Copies of this chain bind each other. A is one copy, B any other.
Amino acid sequence: MDAAKLEDVAREAGVSLATASRVVNGSSRVVAEPYRQRVLDAAAKLDYRPNRTAQAVARGTSNTVTLVVSDISDPFFSAIAAGVARAASAADLVVTIAITERDPDKEAELVRSLRELRPRVMILTGSRFTTAHPLLEKELRGYAEQGGRVVVLGRNSLPYSSLDLRNAEAAEALGRALADRGYRRFLVLAGRHDIVTSYDRAEGFARGAGGEMTTVFGEFSREGAYRAVMGLDPEVLGRIDLIFAVSDVMAVGAIAALRERGIAVPGQVAVAGFDDIAVARDVTPPLTTVHLPLEMVGEAAVDLALGRNAPAIEWKLEIRGSTPAR
């Protein structure tokens, strides 16, 4: 048995297709009460469900928000996704997700093919890169020209609504706080420097912390950080008193590597991260980090896309056991 269509409802109610459409989609509110009730009854009786894809074609736009993330199993992104999902649900929007695997080319390709879905909104949360990407820019421009709303997370030079997490400012405050606690010789564990988020956090931290600063690069993931720290020269490790990883995920990898190398945390080397993902409180010692209200970030992204004014995103220092005063 096929699904009941609007035509069936109209026939059952003894009204025209147009009238039936008016009452079930509630656009133009002008429908006389007796007719209105008959249509509603017919729809209920037939268990009518509108076909959203058909609506999208007729209206020229869908009720979809597309969320582009680097990796949905990364707690940073899944927390944001939770916020997007909640806000979208409240606005009666459907969320589609797409994974870039941290590949700028793949991201551009995704945006390109996702346009085919005619989403109302596209939210880009994967890290921005310092290098321009012509294809991405072209696709976004085309999408926006055709009425799509774009929201980009993080500092960027794209001409769309953007949600700045003020990474540099927060990292600077963290660096200052750790310097105040007596740390002097730092290792910054960064992602690639063409990742804006990584660059801003590393640079901000250095500015705030002062002192000696060594920078090491690794993949922007737990394993990348783990490998980077495992590969560190013992001489370097002996010289530093704190590792600042540009994300909690990386900090966790760094701690694992330090342990594996027999280096006491925070006794010999302290560790700090960024994001305050759930694990930050559950590792031992609890991780000093910068708290970001990630779910709220996701909600704010949807708000922005819908043209509402989004709440400001406020970061907050979380000084925990991984960086005792010394």
Contact = CB atoms under 8 A, between A and B. Distances in A.
Interface of A: 1-3, 47, 49-54, 56-57, 62, 64, 71-73, 75, 78-79, 81-82, 85-86, 89, 94-99, 112, 114-118, 142, 145-146, 222, 252, 255-256, 278-279, 281-284, 295
A82 B114 CA distance: 18
Contacts of A118: 51-53
Contact of A3 (B85, B146, B256): B146
A57 B51 CA distance: 9
A209 B142 CA distance: 62
Given A72-B82, A295-B73, A256 B279 contact: no
15 contacts: A1-B146, A3-B142, A49-B112, A53-B62, A53-B117, A54-B57, A64-B96, A73-B79, A73-B81, A75-B78, A85-B98, A89-B98, A256-B281, A282-B283, A284-B284
Contacts of A283: 282-284
B117 A97 contact: no
Nearest to A3: B146
Contacts of A49: 112, 115-116
Contacts of A279: 279, 282
B51 A53 contact: no
Contacts of A57: 51, 53-54, 57
A142 to B, nearest CB: 7
Nearest to A255: B282
Contacts of A81: 72-73, 78, 97
A17 B117 CA distance: 21
A112 to B, nearest CB: 8
Contacts of A96: 64, 94-97
A116 B50 contact: yes
Contacts of A56: 53
- What are the nearest 3 A-B pairs in CB distance? A284-B284, A53-B56, A78-B78
